[in-house]
């Protein structure tokens, strides 16, 4: 599937929105995560709206809340906005407590549209792989970077896998589950 100029616009928009943001563990520019998630969803058959939403999946949550949502709607339309909303655990400021947000997200994920589940699986897979890489470099001290600590983080990733499996197995969810099992063995 060829990508249109809308995709290039979304890429530029996402890069600008997240320009100052860095990855929690590696310090890499945050856009690296957005590109990894987007590449994964494209490799698993995403259409252009889903690929654009993958680029923007953290925009509302991390880079502007309702204002970011309004700009996504204006630039990319209601379909992309709905997918990004489905990937957002909260746009409230201040954010609700971590566990409360994650429980609500997991509950919604069970019945989320396929595009939201695809992006969520790709997002969590990239994050889980990043955690494994950081663990190899830093050991147990890496868990101090997570609000849920070790136990809460592992609970969350397992709950996401279980919610995604609710709709049936896919190769991406199976890969995520294998990676989460590796995390649980740490």
Domain ranges of the chain: 5-184
Distance CA(67)–CA(155), nearest Å, equals 32
- Cα-based angle 79, 84, 87 (whole degrees, multiple of 5): 135
Q: For residue 21, what are its two tokens?
A: 């943001």
Please tell me the pTM assigned to this model.
0.96
48 catalytic per annotation: no
User: For position 91, what pLDDT does the model report?
Assistant: 87
**Regions of the chain short of the pLDDT cut 50:** none
User: For position 151, what pLDDT does the model report?
Assistant: 96
Distance CA(66)–CA(74), nearest Å, equals 12
CATH architecture type of domain 5-184: Orthogonal Bundle (1.10)
Distance CA(25)–CA(135), nearest Å, equals 10
For residue 65, give the 3-state DSSP assignment.
helix
Selected catalytic residue, list 9, 62, 103, 162: 62
Nearest Cα to Cα of residue 50 among 101, 12, 91, 86: 86
User: For position 45, what pLDDT does the model report?
Assistant: 96
Selected catalytic residue, list 48, 49, 58, 61: 61
Distance CA(125)–CA(178), nearest Å, equals 10
Q: Could you report the per-residue pLDDT of 14-35, keeping only the tens digit for each?
A: 999 999 999 988 889 999 999 9
61 catalytic per annotation: yes
């Amino acid at each position: 599937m060829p990508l249109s100029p809308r995709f290039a616009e979304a890429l530029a928009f996402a890069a600008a929105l997240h320009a100052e943001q860095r990855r929690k563990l590696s310090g890499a520019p945050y856009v690296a995560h957005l590109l990894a998630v987007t590449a994964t969803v494209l490799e698993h058959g995403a259409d252009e709206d889903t690929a654009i939403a993958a680029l923007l999946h953290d925009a509302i949550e991390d880079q502007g809340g309702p204002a970011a949502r309004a700009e996504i709607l204006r630039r990319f339309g209601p379909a992309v906005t709905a997918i990004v909303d489905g990937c957002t655990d909260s746009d409230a400021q201040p954010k609700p407590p971590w566990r409360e947000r994650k429980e609500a997200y997991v509950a919604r994920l069970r019945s989320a549209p396929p595009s939201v589940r695809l992006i969520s699986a790709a997002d969590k897979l990239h994050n889980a792989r990043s955690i494994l890489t950081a663990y190899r470099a830093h050991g147990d001290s890496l868990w101090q970077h997570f609000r849920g600590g070790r136990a809460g983080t592992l609970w969350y990733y397992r709950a996401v896998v279980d919610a995604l499996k609710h709709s049936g197995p896919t190769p991406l969810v199976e890969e995520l589950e294998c990676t989460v099992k590796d995390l649980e063995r740490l």
